[in-house]
Amino acid sequence: MSWQGFLASREELLRSLSLPILSAVVRKDTSSPIFHGCYDWHSAVHGLYSLYAIYQRTGDDLYLEAAQQVALQELVADELRHMASVVGDSENPYGFAWMLALAIRQKQATGECGLCPLAEYAANRIVQLVEELNDETAFTLATVDKHPNLSFGLIHLALWARHMGAPDLHEVAARAVRRWLLDPRLDRALPVAADTTDVSEFMPPRLMRLAAIACVLGSDETSYLQRHMPARFTVAPLTTPTTVHAAGVNFFRAFALLHLYRATGLPRLRENVARLVLYQVKRPDLWRTADYDHRHWIAQIGVRVIDDSYEAE
């Protein structure tokens, strides 16, 4: 199916992916006052994001009502204390990045941002992380293929800055991208072709690095992005993941490719996004089964890519 076919099927795809999300976010399996489902804090954050996103794109009140059952305003102060005391550094930048995406989506979907105090805390923590980087730690975080990935955090810091109309904050992200992600050492350490093969983790650091350059610096670096993607570059779906986390890599690769498409306008990139998403959704064994392994998190990443695609038409 082409990109146009993907666009036409988005509401159906979102409703399919919503099923494990609806059942997961309302559970109480952690100590977080608000984000107490999905086994871990960050998955509960992107679970709630997904409900607001699906509501915004479908107009179905079912998803808004489910979100509002969890995002109770009277619990925000308690959640802020939980973030400062229990969550701590363990969710910086990945979980905190998702908190920024969640607050943006809540505001856009409802006109209100009751979770904004949590997002402001998360943004400050990401800024602190960025400002404390050195050559060694920046290189490590840029090349990591798991939650601490620097590129993923910088994408969301820039998105939050734009949402808030905060040019100074956006410049923090831009300076970090120029200093740390344009490091020539990463050209050698992160060849983009390596994000087309079998992996053991979910985060594609090579594609995500280029996505961060695209998202934060935009058209200023279009030529750089095109130079770092071979003419016939394509990412085939990973069909037989060998680890739990690898089962989610198709959606994360699609997320990065969509940012690259928005910056470069290359049609082959959006076609690749459609191919990855449609393949993964048609494989419910990779997102709807095995509650702890797949069901509690992977569908939510698919929702993110589909939601973002509305901004890329």
Residues 264-295: tens digit of each pLDDT: 999 999 999 999 999 999 999 999 998 889 99
- Percentages (nearest 5) of helix, strand, coil residues in the chain: 75, 0, 25
Residue 36 exposed, middle or buried by CB count within 10 Å (0-12, 13-18, 19+): buried
pLDDT at 20 over 90: yes
| pLDDT, tens digit, 9 for 90 and up, residues 61-109 | 999 999 999 999 999 999 999 999 999 999 999 999 999 999 999 999 9
pLDDT for 75 equals 99
What is the amino acid identity at position 198?
A: D
pLDDT category, 128, cuts 50, 70, 90? very high
| Interatomic CA distance for residues 270 and 196, integer angstroms | 16
Domains identified in the chain and CATH numbers: 3-308 (1.50.10)
| Interatomic CA distance for residues 168 and 154, integer angstroms | 14
- Reading the block at residue 110, the tokens are 């409802």
Asked if 3 contacts 281 with a C-beta cutoff of 8 angstroms, the reply is: no
Question: For a pLDDT cut of 70, what percent of the chain falls above it?
Answer: 100
pLDDT category, 166, cuts 50, 70, 90? very high
Average pLDDT, the chain: 97
pLDDT for 187 equals 95
| Interatomic CA distance for residues 218 and 225, integer angstroms | 10
pLDDT at 1 over 70: no
User: pTM of the entire structure?
Assistant: 0.97
**Using only C-alpha atoms, what is the Rg of the chain?**
18
pLDDT for 308 equals 99
Asked if 67 contacts 105 with a C-beta cutoff of 8 angstroms, the reply is: no
pLDDT at 178 over 80: yes
pLDDT for 149 equals 99
| Interatomic CA distance for residues 221 and 207, integer angstroms | 15
